[in-house]
Amino acid sequence: MLSVQENELLTQTGPGTVMGNFMRQYWIPALLSSELPEPDGRPLRLRLFSEELVAFRDTAGRVGVVALTCPHRGAPLSFARNEEGGLRCVYHGWKYDVAGACVDMPSEPEESSYRDKVRLLSYPCRERAGILWTYMGPRTEPPPLPNLEWNTLPDSHVMLTKRMQFCNWAQAIEGEIDQSHLSYLHSRIDQGTVMNRQVDRWRAADKHPRFFVHDADWGVMIGARRVAEPDTHYWRFTQYLLPSTTMVGPYGPDPFRQSRAFVPMDDKTAMVVAVIYHPTRPLSDAEIEEHRKGSGAGFVGEGNFLPTIPEPGGAWRPKSNSANEYGYDFELQRTRYYSGIGEFWAQDAAMIEGMGPIYDRSREHLGTSDSAVIRVRRRLLDLARHLDDDASFVPPGVLDPDVFQVRGAAAEIPREADWLESAKRITAVVPGLNPDAP
């Protein structure tokens, strides 16, 4: 468990906080490119690290992420006119470009140079692989974008979606890296298959996987080992990538792969950016259609969101939520799903959000199956404190984008094999190769 003070340090990410300052060292996936589809379109409100912001695509197609309120008298720029290369506040006509410079101040005399003294808070943006990334850190020259495997691939190889999670970001990511709950929360009590029939059998037979963790340049490598055949173990390797991304192991022949980023909107709400991708080919029409309908741990499905509202994240509120118990059905629990909840992602959300928006980790009673959660917490706390003590410290991966060239993986491995050497071999990105998984 953590102390009350450590829990606060881990979960608070607003301006000036220790963890917030640490996470801002990295590029953050702020929006999907599809959320700003055209130049001079409507500005979009967003919230990152407890900051109220607005994003827009200007006439030239450049993207800006700027403060919500106009520096003049605080009018909201979500109503601004997006025209001729900038946002024009509709209150008094002051206009700002994507870098936050005031480029027009029509309410002041023509000879006035006052506009040169006014700036709107802005953050640099880059666009790659369908994501609008923003850098909110202190560097004058932003670091390179992380070379995650999926954001170096053609757009046709990648599919993206999002969903709001109504809890703290760390709480959300801890649910993602916990492999032991798969034998329970996501299991079925009928003859249905969860993800892969053979893997389902292994998980049912060995419900207490052994965990192995290793600090790496990209974050933490997590191995969960279960008994498989007489001379092998089934291993599933999950990657925790700094500051808040995961990659989990795939299933089956020629598998697509998954990654998720957990972005703090504020201390009680996170945005989950879910990615499926294939390393060597475009996603098939069948794969795209399956995920559009909603499938697996990340994708809610296009028809499964509440009507859009103008609040930050307002297009990404799932229909299954605490108000309707995430679709819980006692009859389903009795006959089909161990949890009584049909949607895979909602099974997780019901547990993680049900702890409350920020769980008091000083009340926990952790066991050996919590090794991954313990290690990731400690890695984050150690790095954030190091940066707080030494502003010149460069956190891992900030200036070396290629350290993120790793994958989640799953494999049967001989029992006598060294787990870490095996993990390094099968989780390293090798362009052009996409090994099968059990």
Residues 413 and 320 placed together within one structural domain of the fold: yes
- How many Å apart are CA 216 and CA 239, to the nearest integer? 10
Residues 407 and 295 placed together within one structural domain of the fold: yes
Q: Is the pLDDT of residue 195 over 80?
A: no
Among 80, 113, 135, the domain boundary falls at 135
- How many Å apart are CA 143 and CA 147, to the nearest integer? 12
**Taking residues 48-58, what's their average pLDDT?**
98
**Taking residues 304-318, what's their average pLDDT?**
97
| pLDDT for 196 | 75
Burial class (CB in 10 A: 0-12, 13-18, 19+), 52: middle
Cis, peptide link before residue 154, omega less than 30° from 0: no
Residues 185 and 220 placed together within one structural domain of the fold: yes
Is 78 contained in some domain? yes
Count of domains for the chain: 2
Residues 169 and 100 placed together within one structural domain of the fold: no
Is 14 contained in some domain? no
CA torsion 24-308-120-26 (nearest 10°) is: 10
Residues 53 and 161 placed together within one structural domain of the fold: no
HSE, CB side, 13 Å, CA atoms: give it for residue 2: 22
Residues 277 and 402 placed together within one structural domain of the fold: yes
Q: Is the pLDDT of residue 200 over 80?
A: no
Is 364 contained in some domain? yes
| pLDDT for 295 | 67
Among 81, 105, 135, the domain boundary falls at 135
pLDDT tens per residue across span 384-421: 999 999 999 999 999 999 999 999 999 999 999 999 99
Determine contact, residues 145/125, Cβ cutoff 8 Å.
no
Determine contact, residues 236/229, Cβ cutoff 8 Å.
no
Which structural domain range is residue 126 located in?
Answer: 27-135
| pLDDT for 297 | 67
Q: Is the pLDDT of residue 308 over 90?
A: yes
Task: Give the CATH number of the domain where residue 299 resides.
Answer: 3.90.380.10
Q: Is the pLDDT of residue 208 over 90?
A: no
Is 331 contained in some domain? yes
| pLDDT for 296 | 67
pLDDT tens per residue across span 80-128: 999 999 999 999 999 999 999 999 999 999 889 999 999 999 999 999 9
Is 6 contained in some domain? no
pLDDT tens per residue across span 213-234: 999 999 999 999 999 988 999 9
Residues 258 and 380 placed together within one structural domain of the fold: yes
Among 66, 100, 135, the domain boundary falls at 135
Is 361 contained in some domain? yes
Strands (DSSP E) along 5-139, which ranges?
27-32, 44-48, 51-57, 63-67, 81-83, 86-88, 95-96, 102-104, 122-123, 125-128, 131-135
Is 21 contained in some domain? no
Residues 97 and 153 placed together within one structural domain of the fold: no
| pLDDT for 371 | 95
pLDDT tens per residue across span 340-387: 999 999 999 999 999 999 999 999 999 999 999 999 999 999 999 999
Task: Give the CATH number of the domain where residue 84 resides.
Answer: 2.102.10.10
Q: Is the pLDDT of residue 339 over 90?
A: yes
As given in the structure block, the two tokens for residue 204 are 């049912």
Lowest mean pLDDT among 65-79, 178-192, 217-231: 178-192
Supply the DSSP symbol for 179: -
Residues 91 and 189 placed together within one structural domain of the fold: no
Q: Which three-class secondary structure state does DSSP give residue 324?
A: helix
Average pLDDT of the chain?
A: 95
Determine contact, residues 377/370, Cβ cutoff 8 Å.
no
Q: Is the pLDDT of residue 209 over 80?
A: yes
Residues 303 and 383 placed together within one structural domain of the fold: yes
Residues 121 and 204 placed together within one structural domain of the fold: no
Residues 219 and 332 placed together within one structural domain of the fold: yes
For tokens 């996987």, name the residue: 209
Is 13 contained in some domain? no
